Structure 1
Amino acid sequence: MRQRGDERGWALLDALLEDETGHDLAALAGTVLGLPERGRYAVAVVPVRGSAWNRPAEAHGMRFLWRSRPDREIAVVALGEAGPAAVAALLSDGDPGPGGVSPVVDGLSALGAARKLADAALLTCGPGGGGVVGLDGRVAAALIAGQPALAAYLATDVFGPLLARDPADRSLLVSTLDAWLECGGSAGRTAARLCCHRNTVLNRLRRLEALTSRSLSRPRELVELMLALEAVRLEPSTWPRTEPEGG
């Protein structure tokens, strides 16, 4: 019935994706579409592109059911034994541009929640971002991306004091923080990544702490620094890039 484009089945699937509830809605959709009511599912969201691309129907034990929206394509994926990473890799190979994939959800009744999580993953790609991504390791970025006003406030509140610095200097300090976080807080690994001495990394981080009035050794303040960094990474305009006084 899926192949014949059964409108009833697609309408039921759309209702589930919009998080609608009703008596036996998931069971009815599963029957009409030939899907198990309980099982491992994920949802993928890909923005509509100007050029056509091949949407997969079945691959690696996964089954894709696609729905079109004015601004995006949505896939309900019956995962089988696969996981969200396999969905992201397959869609990235198809070169659809940026996209988001939800974590695994249990059953058709959870498709609405999965669609929202896929939307959140998509937001973490940022402007001009590419590749299809899941939420694994991106939850903080998703929280920031979903609150643009809060992101702008946090970026300015945390990094605002750096605006008085030379643009190259403030970029150096923020990029050192980024590398230090990526290296798990190891000054030695950060130095190797940035091709500088370990003491140089420590000096930059101390300057950053002094300018932001936040300590990397205090968990709450470290969280603020991390979230502010995500805000700047996702939307650079959240951090005003004014020149220092005097040019």
Structure 2
Amino acid sequence: MRRGTRYGALLGPLLAGGTTPDLVTRAARGLGLPERGRYAVVVLGTPVPDAAVAEGPDGDGARWWWGAAEGRSPGEVEAREDCREVAVVLLGPAGPARAAARLRGLGAGPGGVSPVVGSLAELGAARRLAGTALLTCEPGSREIVRLDERLPAALLVSRPELSTRLLAEVFGPLLTLVPAERSLLVETLEAWLECGGSVGRAAARLGCHRNTVFNRLRRLERLTARSLSRPRELVDLVLALEVLRLSSAP
């Protein structure tokens, strides 16, 4: 992995959205990179660990170039202020999943990893998508997430005004409860979803009787005026739950 002002000067314009042939050719020649290849971009919300910038390819053969984030590309979702580091990765055989796993192993995070793009000219788009993936990380977490794993959440963070509206419309009455009471209902809904809609399995996970889970879910339905048995209304609840997860509200 490499970093330095030279790398930033060559890759910076591409990450900012520049796609002219001379920019691409100059970066490819200066860094010894193919103009076409399997690339991904990583955006970290904290400084990159020292171990991540060691020279040479990683265990998967991937080659990394690190640089400080500077500004935003046109149309990019505004990232949190702590966003500091960007990497361009010429991927190895295992692809972006292995790159994300390596960063987790190094204790980096939070961070977002873009989908694979096929050329240096697409790095600007990849950076925007990696920045959006970063925004789907839970506040205060050390997650490293790939955009393709978080597409519904990415849609929500891409339109924050609609996300706020969705949360108020679906969970408005729930949010008026005292925090402990609200947390209990939210935890129950999360457990029920994670258990595939099984009340019995959710009860076992929560350490309570299945009737307790059933009663909490029925109360949640009354508060939100939405039924867990109606697919469209369940989608509302799941998306609102995702907005709540991403918010800083206790």
- Matched residues in 1 for 2:3 and 2:170: separation? 56
Q: Measured at CA, do residues 109 and 164 of structure 1 come closer, stay the same or move farther in structure 2, by a change above 3 Å?
A: closer
Match of residue 141 from structure 1 = 153
Instruction: Write the deviation string for residues 158-184 of structure 1: whole angstroms up to 9, x where unpaired.
Output: 111124544433221111111122222
Contact 1:53 1:95 in 2 (8 A): no
TM-score by length of 1: 0.83
Aligned sequence identity (%): 57
Bigger drift between 20-29 and 110-119 goes to 20-29
- Matched residues in 1 for 2:125 and 2:68: separation? 18
Gaps of 5+ in 1: 242-247
RMSD over aligned CA atoms reads 2.7
Is 2:107 the counterpart of 1:107? no
TM-score by length of 2: 0.82
Contact 2:19 2:122 in 1 (8 A): no
Larger radius of gyration: 1
Contact 1:95 1:131 in 2 (8 A): no
Match of residue 38 from structure 1 = 36
Pick the aligned partner of 1:168 from 180, 189, 201.
180
Match of residue 200 from structure 2 = 188
After the TM superposition, which residues 47-196 of structure 1 pair with which residues of structure 2 at under 5 Å, given as runs? 47-49=45-47, 53-56=50-53, 57=55, 58-60=57-59, 61-69=61-69, 71-196=83-208
Gaps of 5+ in 2: 71-82
Q: Measured at CA, do residues 64 and 195 of structure 1 come closer, stay the same or move farther in structure 2, by a change above 3 Å?
A: same
Instruction: Write the deviation string for residues 171-203 of structure 1: whole angstroms up to 9, x where unpaired.
Output: 211111111222222223222211223333222
Q: Secondary structure at 2:21's aligned position in 1?
A: coil
Q: What is the one-letter code of the residue matched to 1:153?
A: R
State the shift of 1:148 in Å: 3.1
Q: What is the one-letter code of the residue matched to 1:156?
A: A
Q: Secondary structure at 1:64's aligned position in 2?
A: strand
Q: Measured at CA, do residues 85 and 157 of structure 1 come closer, stay the same or move farther in structure 2, by a change above 3 Å?
A: same
After the TM superposition, which residues 190-209 of structure 1 pair with which residues of structure 2 at under 5 Å, given as runs? 190-209=202-221
Match of residue 233 from structure 1 = 245
- Matched residues in 2 for 1:99 and 1:137: separation? 13
Instruction: Write the deviation string for residues 34-64 of structure 1: whole angstroms up to 9, x where unpaired.
Output: 1122221111111344x96333342021100
Q: What is the one-letter code of the residue matched to 1:99?
A: G
State the shift of 1:6 in Å: 8.6
Q: Secondary structure at 2:36's aligned position in 1?
A: coil
Task: Give the count of matched residue pairs.
Answer: 235
